[in-house]
Amino acid sequence: MNALVQGMLRGEVPPPPVARLVGFDLVEASEGRSLFRMTTDPARHANPMGTVHGGVLCDLADAAMGVAIATTLAEGETFTTLELKINFLRPVWRAELRAEGVVVQRGRTVSLVECTVTDADGRLVARANSTCMTLRGEKAAGR
């Protein structure tokens, strides 16, 4: 598993700023998988209708998918998201959410990752998928 993800799980690497901002936590990761948890708060996460804003659910799912693909990266590799799609399947207000990211297909360059977001009763809240591109060499270094 990727050293960065291992460090995050052990608490040696701080969570990314978006995790602190939105309020989700990485709780498990293994090769090609990740699990995040989040407690929603209407005072922080609501849209004008009072339900959890779709962007918050998308951030949670994106993080789960990102860590799932990151567990498969070799030394010197990074990735970027090419496409992200999410379906919202039920409204939530105050909820304990679980987001599980799973790598469906890991290609040399292009990979497919999925995420299911469920509530404490196991009901499906949202389903997302992401197409990711593995970067190597100068591209991985941002050049």
Q: Categorize the per-residue pLDDT at 4 as very low, low, confident or very high, splitting at 50, 70 and 90.
A: confident
DSSP-based three-state secondary structure for 67: helix
Which is nearest to 101 in space by CA: 68, 77, 141? 68
Number of folded domains that form the chain: 1
Q: Note the pLDDT tens digit of each residue in 28-86.
A: 999 999 999 999 999 999 999 999 999 999 999 999 999 999 999 998 999 999 999 99
Query: Domain residues for 27?
Result: 3-140
CATH number (domain holding residue 31): 3.10.129.10
What mean pLDDT do residues 114-133 have?
98
How far, rounded to the nearest angstrom, does the alpha carbon of residue 56 sit from its chain's CA centroid? 11
DSSP-based three-state secondary structure for 24: strand
Q: Categorize the per-residue pLDDT at 121 as very low, low, confident or very high, splitting at 50, 70 and 90.
A: very high
| Residue 48 neighbours by CB under 8 Å, 6+ apart | none
Q: β-strand 96-106 against 33-39: which pairing, if any?
A: antiparallel
Give me the half-sphere count of Cα atoms (radius 13 Å) on the Cβ side of residue 140.
13
